[in-house]
Structure 1
Amino acid sequence: MTSKTVLITGAGSGFGRGVALGLARAGHKVIAACHIWPQVTDLRAEAARDGLELRVIKLDVLSEIDRSHALALDFDVLFNNAGIMESGPVAELPPEIVRRIFDTNVFAALEMAQGAAKKFIRAGGGRIVWTSSVAGLVKVPWDGAYSASKYAVEGFCAALREELAPYGVQVCTVNPGAYRTGFNDTGMESQDQWWGQGERVMAHWPVRELTRQADPAEMITAMIGVITAEHPPYRTVLPKAAEDMARREQAEEWDKRL
């Protein structure tokens, strides 16, 4: 793909930040959208230190004002990456948390995708790359709300892919497994915020140190490839062990009995 302008949501940390800086280093035009103003200041400072041309804006995807501001800008690719995770067993999860996860991961992301899709249809082409998860392909006990939100993302992306293809608009997913970005660690810890606030009938799932997470550089490189390649795959699952696990578990679901 020739040089494009890429709007990245959730660019203040993790994969989004790595992809924003990586694209900028490769000479692409990037609009890095961060959740809160301190992230904007911090990312601008890092780009300046590295001599990178990077436009950094504030975008809380739950804010209609912020979404409208971002979608009014000129860009050719939307990297729909912002998301949150909060752990806990489904039977005990406070509805407030489930709604918060779906508001961010599904509804706000969908509004970003809809806005970009309309822009791209009018322009005669464009690409939406959406951060899903391995959790959108397999069961994830104690992360059921996050997993369900990513299953919803998978459903929207599959439909969008077919609906937008006649207009020259491409849709791809990237599905990370467990990487050392801090996202999974804080998602697990979040359960302790509410566990002691009510009567529980299940045992607390012990928050443990996650020692088997992969280097995020692999996934960041793959995401940049999906954003920039002329003909990227529809789905990119990494690390390879996560892809193998997802394929195996999906097959096993057909024959599972209680």
Structure 2
Amino acid sequence: MTRTVLITGAGSGFGRGVALGLARAGHGVIASCQIWPQVTDLRVEAAREGLDLRVIKLDVLSAIDRAHALGFDFDVLFNNAGIMESGPVAELPPEIVRRIFDTNVFAALEMAQGAARKFIAAGAGRIVWTSSVAGLVKVPWDGAYSASKYAVEGFCAAMREELAPYGVQVCTVNPGAYRTGFNDTGMESQDQWWGQGPRVMRHWPVRELTRQSDPAEMIAAMINVLTMPNPPYRTVLPEAAAEMARREQTEEWDKRL
């Protein structure tokens, strides 16, 4: 079945890979990028491959951009845009926490609400959120990002039940650590603020992340979830991350301080 998919955060990483993969498979794609240079770059890549790919500018924090994007005709929303900044919860600047939640939670929610209204009226549609393994387990030094993805999990679980009677499907994709650059820059970002005054905790050293997987596996899974007739509600990869999440969730019930 051919889909028309609106993708947020298509300027890099999973979003870009999914946009190109969907277009190669003949699906309709509205690929949105945060900034104009990303729009230009993705348009050039699509033209180079001869792909029919509509690329638009969408900063999910902009009400104007959101309204423009939601005005297109599509039957699947891939709510993928997100940011990560690391640091200990006890000292992470509230400004950074708000920025993470504004992008990962509130802007994503507004996109999902806009799509839901369209889909309810149509009697069909699918909303796929990029959550994270971090939304299922504890992630020390990435607590703000993890908390934002826990919030995503809560909204998705509620929307799944609320929208099902209207023919609208909701599901999540939960990547672990993949080599998209997202985790590397998210970890390094703490050095932008760590030196701004005295700290009571020791710095968690920025280090090369050498145990990340090839993102092609997750991109292929995302494309399947976006296009297959009846996808699973939750898709967690790599499999080692899924096993770790199940194990840690079970252990939390018996953990003592």
CA distance in 2 between counterparts of 1:4 and 1:170 reads 14
* Cα deviation code 1:142-172 (max 9, x no counterpart): 0000000000000000000000000000001
Q: Match for residue 207 of structure 2?
A: 208
Q: After TM superposition, give the deviation of residue 199 of structure 1 in Å.
A: 1.3
* Cα deviation code 1:16-73 (max 9, x no counterpart): 0000000000000000000000000000000000000000000000000000000011
1:76-225 equivalence runs, <5 A: 76-225=75-224
Amino acid at match of 2:139: V
* Structure 1 ranges of 4+ moved more than 3 A: none
Q: Match for residue 234 of structure 1?
A: 233
Q: Secondary structure at the match of 1:18?
A: helix
CA distance in 2 between counterparts of 1:25 and 1:206 reads 41
CA distance in 2 between counterparts of 1:99 and 1:158 reads 23
* TM-score (normalizing by structure 1): 0.99
Q: Say if 2:7 is the partner of 1:8.
A: yes
Instruction: Structure 1 unaligned segments of length 5 or more: list them.
Output: none
Instruction: Structure 2 unaligned segments of length 5 or more: list them.
Output: none
Q: After TM superposition, give the deviation of residue 257 of structure 1 in Å.
A: 0.2
* TM-score (normalizing by structure 2): 1.00
Amino acid at match of 2:165: P
How many aligned positions are there?
Answer: 257
CA distance in 2 between counterparts of 1:51 and 1:108 reads 32
* Cα deviation code 1:67-109 (max 9, x no counterpart): 0000011000000000000000000100000000000000000
CA distance in 1 between counterparts of 2:57 and 2:194 reads 32
Q: Match for residue 55 of structure 2?
A: 56
Q: Secondary structure at the match of 1:174?
A: strand
Q: After TM superposition, give the deviation of residue 218 of structure 1 in Å.
A: 0.0
Q: Secondary structure at the match of 2:157?
A: helix
Query: What percentage of aligned pairs have identical amino acids?
Result: 88
